[in-house]
Structure 1
């Protein structure tokens, strides 16, 4: 009722529900909320409102170990104009049906639904990204493509597409928030916020990584084309001659470029790219080792295990087990502590 009255009187204050998932990136949350706070401060009045939301209203642990208090639970959060999901390292395991249903409901009522970092998994699971480009952190892209092959992943910093917003996380969160502030208020205010944070805003289409071209070019560097072609063909690795033919160069030129830029042979470079993709899948998902081996172009799980161990010093199973132990120990430690304390007699 209050929000409707504000809208009818022309005094509506845009509201944000910042949804925190376990192991959410604290740096992104700080940048998002600080941008809104500074906008209010510089305006001398409340022009934005925001609330921190968790699944059950309890504090949530960030990826760096700090705990963040929540204002609301998914059940009690008030209707907002923007819902931004700050996701952690196990998105498919931590995105509950309640969260997905709340996002769908908010979208039906016309709210803007956004994702920070791996929050894109929640939007995709909720069926809210059909026919749209998706932006998420570059490390999670292979896993996302494996889960949602029908969706197109965009490698830029962030994307505002109507009522859908997604960004790569990290400092790109600030770029996205400055854009939203400019759209909701003025570009002048967005510039004031950027100046207060001693930051030079980047274009939405800028590349996520400094080693990638920030703008499309007619003919990318040969090294970029080599890596791009290899990353696009993980499951069925191309032969050296096929790579050279697709790139329109000789096999000798391909070998020379790989040695010059990466100090590796094309075969060894290709193997490292596939192993890194396998590592990211182990990090973000619970795919079976056989499935990961197939997705990354290894003929058998045993081949993946041997090469993975040679590269990272442990087998894929050991890597994931070690990672999950660390994550589980950090998740709701008060419950773990109570379960390990022997009862008094």
Structure 2
């Protein structure tokens, strides 16, 4: 879909202005989520509507000042390029699957400059990669969308990549994106002003129970199996946490206080697969993300996903996805 539209960049002016309205600057990187952009701006707009007091302004940028394409094909007109910002600004970077190509030298230099100037800055979803590559997240606990989590862990050893929906520190924040973006924005509004403003905005957005940052990203399958059987859900969580160094079904069964035979019955009943088969599928899906998202060599991907050799890994990969790892990357016939 190729739709061009212009966001209402100049918000309706409230009847009064606060003594010191806060400005949010939003940098769009190619393939950003239009949903994330709306989830950033709408809470700010509603905070201004509460009692018609202008608490916020916002400014939307791209690297070159040209329209930026979202992941759904929409093009968003922006207000400028990599402008000089004020120390009191809050900077939010939005990005998506094209995180490697959009983390340009120019963007990274600009992000470092904003960090040195003391801005409160953060990133959502794939844009966390740009902040990490720029070095402004060094040693931090970070959150990102679950599809990018293992890629960040493998690429940036200095980061503590969490499973949470967002991480909010004194000067930096990171977020998984999607509905978590709205949760983050409500918390930022609460921190900027108070509970009354944040609660009014949440109610207006029909989000009366926003999640806190320590809420973990949960896979639908794990949630569904947890509703049906908590032992099975716990076994899957153990598998997801040990993709690089897989453990035996017997060890998993011991951790959840059941027998190996009982574990096999649970997987057969609810998922129609063996524990070993499910474990391998999880590791192969993680390998596929690393192949598509990183420059890691095939053997490095294999080892990062618990496979001892490239040949065995390639055979299993082709059986699962119909392509060899090289073909997946477009290198094979």
TM range, smaller chain = 0.7 to 0.9
Q: Secondary structure of 1:78's partner?
A: coil
Distance in 1 (CA, whole Å) between partners of 2:163 and 2:321 is 27
Give the strand-richer structure, 1 or 2: 2
Q: CA deviation at 1:163?
A: 0.9
Q: Secondary structure of 1:228's partner?
A: helix
Among 251, 259, 269, the residue aligned to 1:260: 269
Among 200, 203, 219, the residue aligned to 1:195: 203
1:51 aligns with 2:69: no
> Matches of residues 147-162 of structure 1 in structure 2 within 5 Å?
147-162=155-170
Q: Gaps (5+ residues) in structure 2?
A: 1-17, 224-228
Distance in 1 (CA, whole Å) between partners of 2:293 and 2:119 is 28
Distance in 1 (CA, whole Å) between partners of 2:291 and 2:329 is 6
Whether the 8 Å contact between 1:53 and 1:77 is mirrored in structure 2 is no
Q: CA deviation at 1:248?
A: 5.0
**TM-score normalised by structure 1 residue count:** 0.80
> Matches of residues 108-187 of structure 1 in structure 2 within 5 Å?
108-187=116-195
After superposition, the C-alpha distances for 1:151-189 in whole angstroms (9 at most, x for unaligned) are 222212222111111111001101111111111122222
Whether the 8 Å contact between 1:24 and 1:61 is mirrored in structure 2 is yes
Distance in 1 (CA, whole Å) between partners of 2:212 and 2:245 is 35
Distance in 2 (CA, whole Å) between partners of 1:150 and 1:77 is 29
Q: Give the count of matched residue pairs.
A: 306
| Partner in structure 2 of residue 311 of structure 1 | 320
Q: Gaps (5+ residues) in structure 1?
A: 1-9, 214-219, 323-345
1:298 aligns with 2:298: no
CA RMSD of aligned residues (A): 2.4
**TM-score normalised by structure 2 residue count:** 0.83
After superposition, the C-alpha distances for 1:185-221 in whole angstroms (9 at most, x for unaligned) are 22222222222222232232223226467xxxxxx94
1:318 to 1:28, Cα distance in 2 relative to 1, 3 A: same
Distance in 2 (CA, whole Å) between partners of 1:59 and 1:117 is 20
> Matches of residues 10-25 of structure 1 in structure 2 within 5 Å?
11-25=19-33
Distance in 1 (CA, whole Å) between partners of 2:219 and 2:148 is 17
